[in-house]
Amino acid sequence: MKFFVDTGDIAEIKDLASTGLLDGVTTNPTLIAQSGKNFLKLIAEICEVVDGPVSAEVAATDYATMLKEGQKLAKIAKNVAVKVPLTPDGLKVCKALSDNGTQVNVTLCFSSAQAILAAKAGATFISPFVGRLDDVGQDGTQLIKDIVQIYKQYPNFKTEVLIASIRHPIHLVDAAKVGAHVATIPPKVIRQLYAHPLTDKGLAAFVADWAKTGQTILDAA
């Protein structure tokens, strides 16, 4: 599974990229607003830090303007993935951009039917929103399972399932179990993946026992 971080905070991106575990970045208008930075300059900066796909979302909702915005965003760097909404105009833009070799992330997916349309439009990524479905009493993980199963039936579908709206580690683990290709994760949740009380307890015991030996590895002959 590929790990993308869902943030517009360049400091967070640099820190997580230094682990070697980060495969890409996703942003959206809300995250850009939170960053307080110029959108185009920020995307360019992120693309210099991360080699993998960096999702940059269009702001318009009509086909003509979205297409122009997408074309402009794609020129920022080779690893930009233009993010478009799952609407009729958004999928038309997806088709036009993907036909010209641009990566496209189709966002705001909430049904399997929508995911089929995105794959037919040539989307590089489809972004089902697990957490938001859970919020309204639906099973977000089941949607991921259904989309993965559908895509497997059609080898000509090259779209990767990118689980979005992750709220906690269990969302990630459940998505991995059913075969999601990518997870875009808030920085806080990525750090939660490391945590387990037994790891902390075991490490503390090892450190204490080592101290009793009076030895140091680096100074040993």
Catalytic residue list: 83
Residue 48: CB atoms within 10 A of its CB come to: 12
Q: Which of 156, 195, 190, 143 shows the shortest CA–CA distance to 1?
A: 190
Rounded Cα distance between 211 and 172, Å, is 37
What is the three-class DSSP state of 185? strand
Are the beta carbons of 104 and 122 closer than 8 angstroms? yes
C-beta of residue 39 within 8 angstroms of C-beta of residue 75: no
Structure tokens at 174: 């459940």
Backbone φ, ψ for residue 11 (5° rounding): -65, -40
Question: Phi and psi of 208, rounded to 5°?
Answer: -65, -40
- How many CB atoms lie under 10 A from the CB of residue 49? 15
* Residues 128, 110 contacting (CB under 8 angstroms): yes
3-state secondary structure at position 134: helix
Q: Which H or E run includes 92?
A: helix 88-99
